[in-house]
Amino acid sequence: MAEPASLFVRSRCVGTAAVIYASDYLNKLSGERIERECKRQLECGCQTLVIDFRGTELVNSIGVSILLGVIDVAEKSGAQLIFSDVNTETIQLFEMLGLTRHVALAKDEDEALTLLNEFAAPPQSFGH
């Protein structure tokens, strides 16, 4: 029997990046779904994870601790991690708790994907 769709988090791949969409409330259950999907995407060869918080209104302490685990897994995999569409209150929480020292922030998914291109661009040489 297939698992209910509610056990999964929505995601999509863009090249070697995976965009994972957080739910409206990031708690233990939804956080574990995000963590599972991030690990799955890394195992499938993704080099960058973008977690889109567009619909997220609230993040509780367990959700934050799970995000710390995602940061750890991404760092150990050598993957880039970007949080996009984070509301002002959640940015303040992430800054206060030190998460923003380990992830890039983007105003939206498009900016996150543009950042990826900048990270991946080879260094330019300017003559001799």
Residue 20: strand pairing partners: 11, 51
Domain count within the chain: 1
Q: Is residue 18 assigned to a domain?
A: yes
Per-residue pLDDT reduced to its tens digit, 46-74:
999 999 999 999 999 999 999 999 999 99
Report the alpha-carbon distance of residue 121 to residue 124 in Å, rounded. Answer: 8
> Which residue range forms the structural domain that includes residue 15?
9-112
Q: Is residue 40 assigned to a domain?
A: yes
Across the range 23-27, mean pLDDT stands at 96
The model's confidence at residue 83, banded by pLDDT at 50, 70 and 90, is very high
The CATH number given to whatever domain includes residue 101 is 3.30.750.24
pLDDT mean across residues, the chain: 90
Statement: residue 117 has pLDDT above 90: no
DSSP string, 11-74: EEEETTEEEEE--SEESHHHHHHHHHHHHHHHHTT-SEEEEE-TT--EE-HHHHHHHHHHHHHH
